[in-house]
Amino acid sequence: MNKIMDKRIGIAVLVILSIIFPLLFDNKYIIHVMSLAFIYIIAIYGMNLLAGFTGYLSLAHAGFFAIGAYSLGVFTTKYEMTFWVSFVAAIVFTTVVGAIIGLIALRTKEHFFAIYTLIVGYLIYLLIDKWDVMTGGVRGLIGIPVPTAIGPIEFKSGLSMYYLILFFLLLSTLLITRIVHSLTGRTFIAIRNSEELAQTIGINTMTNKLVSFIISIFFAALAGALYASFVRFLGPDIANLPMVFDFLMYLIVGGLGTLSGPIVGTLLIVWLSQFLQGLQEYRMLLFGPILTLIVIFYPAGIVGAYRTIKMKLKHKKDLDNNNPVDKKVSNTNHEQSQIKEG
Amino acid sequence: MEHFIQQLVNGITLGSVYILMGIGLTLVFGILHIPNFAHGALYMLGGYVTLMMMTSVGVHYLIALVVSIFVVGFIAVLMERAVFHPLRKAPPIHDKIAAIGMMLFFEAFVLLVWGTEYQRMPTPYGNSIKIDAITITAQRILIIAVSIIVVALLYWFLKKTMIGASIIAMAQNREGAYLVGINANMVAMMTFFISGALAAIAAGLASPINLVFPAMGHLVIMKAFIIVIIGGMGSIPGAIFGGFLLGITESLGATYISSDYKDLIAFFLLVVIMTWKPTGLFAKGAH
């Protein structure tokens, strides 16, 4: 009980911090970077649901992020639809495309799925790059409008965009948490742990995998649409390989299959990259080995490592006290956190 | 007609490079069950090592090629020892991510040392040969000839030598191979060495007709994956078939459909095949 209270307070503090963040750092640049990081976190949440909880690593995620961004761009600039209509249309369109691709991609398993999605992602990049008439090709797409005002709230300043993005981030976090803790989420974890076993106990794995895939694409699309309306310029590079790997890195460093992992990983790497600005092009010299080492030694990322260390300390303390009652409590705690980790 | 044959020859050249890459990839997958996403980085390193041997050290093209075979082969063995070996019992998602991490590292490394510029690799075999109405550069003939020789040598090695036999044994049945006392570590290192060496040969051969640059591995690795999937993961004859199919389709597609979309053709081919047969055309059993 105490633990739940702690967690709630922690989350409340984080939310309040993110709300007053612009007041603490009254600097346009910092707010800009933070908004961008928030957008990525939304996309990473989608990726995490599929890779971390269902066990299917999709390397087409940046591709879908780009489809979401580009469809918003194309709807608003080429078809001159109003902003919020395009926003919803972009997400729906991307999710439908994702559902169709998922239907095909999910027939493959493990390695084949990763390779297939890698190639689909690259196909999306090539399409965006070559389809000049629609996407502007290498020159990119410019002139995407800012979100139109909702009632009295306008989105012309960076600050108002920050709050808009924060709103969607909080919504996404809430949604993902609900999904993961629901029966559907548990089903995903069952599939990740053993697909055969899940099938044996009567889970329709194909349907569940598809649901997971579609939700994952939905978040990529949402993030993409937000990105387009925030940056207001799109180039084909957002669908290219380095973007996928950036996403993957945010996720792995934070913690694959954990709820706070995407936030920790993305914020850490985004800010670290800012400090190492001079290294921008060579940052992978540092991050590549980090990624590899984390996968070898801490497969569940920073969040996972933190949990393991905490659990070990607790276990040690209990052993020192040698108190049977405490031990029992700690055991159930142990089990609970294991379930949470999945 | 001449035009068609000319393109066919170009397609076979292209296919030969893909085959060398594909066989390396398929061996590692078939024997160790690792889809090595860093294979493209090995290819890129092969290009750079060959180029640097020629320009900085100033040795002959063929000697540079041999040096690069050993350097890249050694890097591949190192990769296996340092990364894939510790991960051999991890869930399948992990070795893919680790491979991607290494790929990023190698690319950034090359970027730091040699910069982003596209570099041209000189070749002593630049002169062209005319057969009837078809002109082929000697380099293209070299690519095809060397590929055939290398594949034949590899085939001989796998079928006729003891080490080759133990590699095959491990591919067929891991537990059985352990039972008869095959040294799994040795086989794993050997497999990675061969795969790295093949990538180095492919890069050294293809660089004079393409260029050398940090992202040169991207498209090639994707295409190698495509041919390996078309041919069924783990099958060498499948990789050979897939390589020629892809090379020729691409070459003809570039001429008769659109050169802008030639890369898309390859990817589209794969999407169609995967949609129709999710395990590839020649897959044996469940990998």
ipTM confidence: 0.83
Q: Mind listing the pLDDT tens digit for each residue in A32-80?
A: 888 889 999 999 999 999 988 888 888 899 999 999 999 998 888 888 7
Per-residue b/e over A9-39, b at no fewer than 16 CB within 10 Å? eeeeeeeeebeeebeeeeeeeebebbbbbbb
Domain residues for the domain of A118 are 30-280
Subunit contact B267:A126, Cβ cutoff 8 A: yes
Q: Which of residues 40-99 of A touch B (CB under 8 A)?
A: 51, 55, 57
Is residue A173 domain-resident? yes
CA distance linking residue B174 with residue B157, whole number of Å: 20
Structural domain contains residue A88? yes
State the average pLDDT over residues A193-208. 86
Is some CB atom of chain B closer than 8 A to the CB atom of A303? no
Residue A337, pLDDT > 50, answer: no
> In this complex, is the C-beta atom of A299 within 8 Å of any C-beta atom belonging to chain B?
yes
What residue in A sits closest to B220 (Cα-Cα)? A119
Q: Is B163 on the interface with A (CB under 8 A)?
A: no
Residue B209 has pLDDT above 50, yes or no: yes
Confidence category of residue A98, pLDDT binned at 50, 70, 90: very high
pLDDT computed for residue B284 by the predictor: 56
Whether residue B62 has pLDDT greater than 80: yes
Q: What letter does residue B122 receive in the DSSP assignment?
A: P
Residue A159 touches chain B, beta carbons under 8 Å:
no
Q: How confident is the model at residue A341 (pLDDT cuts 50, 70, 90)?
A: very low
- Domain with residue A211: its CATH number is 1.10.3470
Put simply, the answer to whether B274 touches A112 (Cβ < 8 Å) is yes
Give alpha helix (H) positions in B80-137. Answer: 92-114
Give this prediction's pTM: 0.84
Residue A19 lies in a domain: no
Q: Which amino acid is at B89?
A: K
Q: Give B6 to chain A, closest Cα distance, Å.
A: 27
Q: Considering only alpha carbons, which residue of chain A is nearest residue B262?
A: A126
Chain B nearest-CA residue for A242: B104
Q: Which residue has the higher pLDDT, A23 or B79?
A: B79
What integer pLDDT is reported at residue B159 of this predicted model?
87
The answer for B270, left when phi > 0, alpha when psi is -120 to 50, beta otherwise, is: alpha
- Token representation of residue B146: 């060397």
The alpha carbon of residue B280 is apart from the nearest alpha carbon of chain A, in Å, by 10
Q: For residue A168, what are the contacts with CB-CB under 8 A and spacing of at least 6?
A: A42, A222, A226
Residues with Cβ within 8 Å of B187's Cβ and at least 6 positions away in sequence, in order, are B31, B166, B167, B170, B177
Distance from CA of A212 to the nearest CA of B (A): 17
CB atoms under 10 Å from CB of A50, counted, come to 27
What is the per-residue pLDDT for A232?
84
Mean pLDDT of A242-259: 86
The answer for B 46-75 residues in CB contact with A (under 8 A) is none
**What mean pLDDT is predicted for residues B139-150?**
89
Query: Distance between alpha carbon B16 and the CA centroid of its chain, in Å?
Result: 9
- pLDDT confidence of B59, banded at 50, 70, 90? confident
Contacts within 8 Å (CB) and 24+ apart, A262-269: A262/A41, A262/A44, A262/A45, A262/A47, A262/A48, A263/A41, A263/A173, A264/A301, A264/A302, A264/A303, A265/A44, A265/A301, A265/A302, A266/A37, A266/A40, A266/A41, A266/A44, A267/A37, A267/A41, A268/A302
Rounded CA separation B106/B110 (Å) = 6
Nearest by CB: B93 against A57, A123, A292: A57
Which candidate from B101, B260, B275 shows the least CB-CB separation from A292?
Answer: B101
Nearest by CB to residue A284, choosing from B87, B98, B107, is B107
Cβ separation of B222 and A118 shorter than 8 Å?
yes
Q: Mean pLDDT of all residues in chain B?
A: 85
B226 lies within 8 A of chain A by CB: yes
**Would you call B96 and A57 a contact, using CB atoms and an 8 Å cutoff?**
yes
Give yes or no for residue B5 having a pLDDT over 90.
no
B174: how many CB neighbours lie within 10 A of its CB?
A: 16
Which among B91, B112, B263 is the nearest to A285, CB-wise? B112
Task: Give B111's contacts in chain A (Cβ within 8 Å).
Answer: 281-282
- Residue A21 maps to a domain: no
What mean pLDDT do residues A93-115 have? 87
When CB atoms are compared, the residue of B102, B107, B264 closest to A126 is B264
A120, A284, A296 member nearest B87 (Cβ): A296
- The predicted structure's pLDDT at residue A43: 93
- Among A213-222, B28-37, B189-198, the least confident range: B28-37
Q: Is the pLDDT of residue A333 over 50?
A: no
pLDDT computed for residue B285 by the predictor: 44
User: B137: which strand partners?
Assistant: B128
Number of alpha helices (DSSP H) and beta strands (DSSP E) in chain A: 15, 2
Taking only residues 101 to 130 of chain B, the set having a beta carbon closer than 8 angstroms to any beta carbon of chain A reads 101-109, 111-112, 116
B56 versus A2: the higher-pLDDT residue is B56
B97 contacts A285? CB cut-off 8 A: no
CB B91 to CB A115 under 8 A? no
What pLDDT does A31 receive? 85
**A288 contacts in B (CB within 8 Å)?**
101-106, 108
Closest CA to B145 of B21, B13, B46, B8: B13
- Enumerate the domain spans of chain B: 16-217
pLDDT above 70: percentage of residues in chain A: 91
Distance from CA of B82 to the nearest CA of A (A): 10
Identify whether A11 is part of a domain: no
> Confidence band (pLDDT; 50, 70, 90) for B138?
confident
What pLDDT does A332 receive?
A: 47
Q: Do B264 and A281 touch (CB under 8 A)?
A: no
Contact B278 A107 (CB under 8 A): yes
User: How many structural domains are present in chain A?
Assistant: 1
Q: Nearest-CA distance from B34 to chain A in Å?
A: 8
Instruction: Look at residue B223 in the predicted model and tell me its pLDDT.
Output: 87
**Record: contact A295-B233, CB cut-off 8 A:** no
Query: Between these two residues, B80 and A324, which has the higher pLDDT value?
Result: B80
Residue type, B68: S
| Mean pLDDT value across residues B98-116 | 87
Q: Give the integer Cα–Cα distance in Å for A140 and B89.
A: 44
